[in-house]
Amino acid sequence: MTELEREIARRRAFAIIAHPDAGKTTLTEKLLLYGGAIHLAGHVRARKDRKSTKSDFMALEQERGISVSTAALQFDYDGMVMNLLDTPGHQDFSEDTYRTLMAVDAAIMLLDASRGVEPQTIKLFKICRERNLPIITFINKMDMPALEAFELLDNVEKVLGISAVPLVWPMGSGKDFKGYFDLYGKILHRFERTVGGAHKAPEAVTGIDDAQVRELMGDDAHAKFCEDVAIAGEALPQFDKEKFLQGEMTPVLFGSAVTNFGVEHLLSHLKELAPAPRPILLDDGAVLEPTEPRFTGFVFKMQANMNKLHRDRVAFLRITSGKFERGMSVAVPRLEKDVKLANPVAFFGQERTTIDTAYAGDIIGIISPGLYRLGDVLFERTGNEKPPEFHPLPRFAPDVYARIVLTDTGKTKQFRKGISELADEGVVQLFNLSEQTPLIGVIGQLQFDVFKYRIEDEYGAPIRLEPLAFECSRWIDAKDAAKAGRFDKIVTDEKGNPVLLFESQFRLRSFQEQNPDVTLHLHPPV
């Protein structure tokens, strides 16, 4: 193995998908605790503060602060380099989530043990499915009253249509949750709580028939536990790594992020099961191997003003092949020039650190004053080879629209800069840009609030948003624009492509019936 192959083989890039409140923030923090990136849990954010201000805009800022600090975290674990990407929990940011999931090789699906699969879990799961991402399921909050383990497995299978195979079997639940039996290693793991879950939970391993265990559980509960373990071991399908890698089967772990039970096991399974950086099928049919020495990567996330003092912008880059070295020059096809990557950073907890080298599978941040755009391809040019043709990052037709009115005309410059930068970040989509009052379109209402807050706070341009009565939109081919214009509201996107806005799904359907020759597109032309 070459040094490059060795380094790439020890990279893991993954995201946690969860319905809000399932415990994603808590689990992230505990992964950092076990990865040694923080030494005391309880620091990633002050959750209680967030609650008390939930209703005002500060909450947005704080929320953003959190997602920023965890947008791409890197930590070491047992010889591995783990890259954990944050997926916004709120459903309004589905596009952002989609882009993030294009930058990982595996996902942890986090469920609340008292709720099982929830609406946002389903949406995120579907995106993972489309990408054939391998998913490890972590059933959290076992320290609270929980559904039966069999019921939870059944719920995952029925609702998501994926085979759910337990790797461990929980020992009790609620206040009696003491650990679990490893169905494959045939070992019982017992945990102890620490105050506030701030430190790693002490763990003891023993056999299932240990007299102490029986005493701890009581004879009846122990007998039931042994019976369930036997059924789980014999009657349920066996774990099949190939099926997992194809995204057809999910291994299931049980635990409690708040008390740290099961967090270490989750990490060791990520190490053993989650794939190293995967080859990428390019649009021209070629396969990009991560071990190809030539450096390539793409920008999947932009974040402006991460540091208010510096007013800089960070482009998050997934390295897709080769080795990155600080100061290297890379080609950016969209810019038609080479740029020097002088300022690469990685994020550890809330710290950002300049890095000298990185490999395929890593996520790095490039700080620049607005040079990059979402979807930008960066690659090392050795001759005059053509750039890798990645599948374009998806854009979806927005469901909510508003007209943006600048209320202080003295701030036009700031306003224009703000809308264009926030659109580059993917916060909103812009329409009719050349007009005095452009339109913005978003996937969900919360994005309006974020947009208004940020344009006023970060760019000093006060605005009023006038919601428009459109509920859906579709791109159309330029040749159809004249025809379509007679029937419905037509606008142009940032690239000048025509978009039709509809007041309801019903209007959209009737338009389609009346104009069978006009093709409606959910995504913009590439």
- Which residue ranges make up the site for ligand G4P (CB under 6 A)? 18, 20-26, 47-48, 89, 140-141, 143-144, 256-258
Strands 429-431 and 463-468: unpaired
Hey, how many other C-beta atoms are within 10 angstroms of the C-beta on 252? 24
Residue 23 or 361 having the CB closest to ligand G4P: 23
CB of 257 to ligand G4P, least distance (A): 4
Residue among 269 and 313 whose Cβ is closer to ligand G4P: 269
Nearer to ligand G4P by Cβ, of 255 and 297: the residue is: 255
Among 59, 85, 82, smallest CA distance to 70 is for 85
80 φ/ψ angles, rounded to the nearest 5 degrees: -105, 155
Sign for the pseudo-dihedral over CA of 296, 390, 130, 16: positive
Q: How far is the CB of 232 from ligand G4P (least distance, A)?
A: 21
Nearer to ligand G4P by Cβ, of 24 and 452: the residue is: 24
**For residues 27 and 393, which CB has a smaller minimum distance to ligand G4P in the complex?**
27
What span, in angstroms and rounded, lies between the C-alpha atoms of 398 and 524?
A: 11
Shortest distance (Å) from residue 136 CB to ligand G4P = 16
In the complex, what is the shortest distance from the CB of residue 302 to ligand G4P, in angstroms, rounded to a whole number?
A: 23
Type and span of the H or E element at 58: helix 57-69
State which residue, 25 or 429, has the beta carbon closest to ligand G4P: 25
Nearer to ligand G4P, 20 or 185 (CB): 20
Distance CA 500, CA 511 (A): 10
Q: Which residue has the tokens 């920023």?
A: 68
Q: In the structure, how many helices (H) and strands (E) does the chain have?
A: 15, 31
- CB nearest ligand G4P: which residue? 23
Q: Looking at this protein, which amino acid is placed at residue 432?
A: N
Q: How far is the CB of 28 from ligand G4P (least distance, A)?
A: 8
Residue 210, strand partner residues: none
Alpha-carbon span 46 to 44, nearest angstrom = 7
C-beta of residue 391 within 8 angstroms of C-beta of residue 427: no
Q: 33 or 304, CB closer to ligand G4P? A: 33
Distance between CA atoms of residues 471 and 468, nearest Å: 9
Alpha helices in 285-397 (DSSP H): none
As a whole number of angstroms, the distance between CA 427 and CA 448 comes to: 9
What's the min distance (Å) between Cβ of 247 and ligand G4P? 23
3-class SS string, 187-207: EEEEECCCHHHCCCCCEEEEC
What kind and span of H or E run contains 56?
A: none
* Of 417, 432, 427, residue with least CA distance to 473: 432
What distance in Å separates the CA atoms of residue 215 and residue 112, rounded to the nearest whole number?
Answer: 29
Q: What is the per-residue burial (b if ≥16 Cβ within 10 Å, else e) of 227-237?
A: ebbeebeeebe
Q: Tell me how far CA of residue 166 lies from CA of 20, 113, 150, 239, 240, in angstroms.
A: 24, 14, 9, 8, 11
Nearer to ligand G4P by Cβ, of 255 and 277: the residue is 255
Residue 260 carries which DSSP code?
T
Q: How far is the CB of 64 from ligand G4P (least distance, A)?
A: 14
Q: Which lies closer to ligand G4P via its Cβ, residue 260 or residue 473? A: 260
Smallest distance from ligand G4P to CB 295, Å: 34
Nearest distance from C-beta of residue 20 to ligand G4P, angstroms: 5
Q: Least distance (Å) from ligand G4P to the CB of residue 111? A: 11
Question: Minimum Å distance from CB 14 to ligand G4P?
Answer: 16
> Whose Cβ is closer to ligand G4P: residue 19's or residue 278's?
19
Nearer to ligand G4P by Cβ, of 50 and 243: the residue is 50
The span from the CA of 278 to the CA of 430, in Å, is 34
CB of 69 to ligand G4P, least distance (A): 13
d(Cα 129, Cα 246) in Å, to the nearest integer? 9
Least Cα distance to 400 among 453, 440, 452 occurs for 440
Q: Are 274 and 12 in contact (CB under 8 A)?
A: yes
User: Based on CB atoms, which residue is closest to ligand G4P, 72 or 257?
Assistant: 257
Q: How far is the CB of 137 from ligand G4P (least distance, A)?
A: 14
